[in-house]
Amino acid sequence: MNSSIISKRNAAKKLRERSLKQQDYLEKYNVGNDAIYIKCLDCKTYNINAKNAHVIIWYDNDKINVIGREFTNDIGKIQIDINNIICFLRYGDFYTSSNIKGGDSSFERAALGYLLAGDVGAIIASRNPIVSSTEVHDKRETLLIVREDNIEKYLFFEPELYNYLMHLIPTKEINYRNFSADK
């Protein structure tokens, strides 16, 4: 049998085995349907291995559950009781920048345009097309502040967690809390 066919079969077998192990891992922790995949920038106050870890987060029975994203990085299950959450907020810089390129003149193109269409052709042909693009720079983080055993713990996540928490527990968002306290 051809060695490339054998290596393709072995690769397919390894992928199936990996997929089954990942599925078993998710079932082990009973991951909910509302789970999101995100990066924990620094959660070492809960688990020393949870710094820069890709995690799965879901809500179940008044708890936010956090596990490693892959079975190969099993950090255990972190459970945060909703009642222990002091607040959450999103902070940092978010901005866009525009890049504009082109529009400069080319002598060769102007000469060709002049030969084909005279003065107007020279002007139009000499211009290179202008191309613009917008780049998004998102340097924000979501901070989750939790109090357990009279100790405040700070967990830092990618900014997308903010939207999940706003849907789940909007009254714990710090701007909402400050606004409500003023009344």
The pairing of beta strand 63-68 with beta strand 78-81: antiparallel
Q: Looking at the structure, do residues 83 and 169 belong to the same domain, yes or no?
A: yes
CATH code of 164's domain: 2.30.29.30
pLDDT at 163 over 70: yes
3-state secondary structure at position 113 = helix
Q: Looking at the structure, do residues 144 and 87 belong to the same domain, yes or no?
A: yes
Least confident of 14-18, 24-28, 73-77: 73-77
Does 170 map to a domain? yes
pTM: 0.69
Q: Looking at the structure, do residues 81 and 104 belong to the same domain, yes or no?
A: no
**pLDDT, greater one: 100 or 127:** 100
Any idea which residue has 């042909």 for tokens?
125
Query: How many domains does the chain fold into?
Result: 2
Q: Looking at the structure, do residues 128 and 178 belong to the same domain, yes or no?
A: no
Does 1 map to a domain? no
Alpha carbons 29 and 4: distance in angstroms, whole number: 38
Q: Looking at the structure, do residues 38 and 125 belong to the same domain, yes or no?
A: no
Q: Which residue range is the domain that position 106 belongs to?
A: 96-135
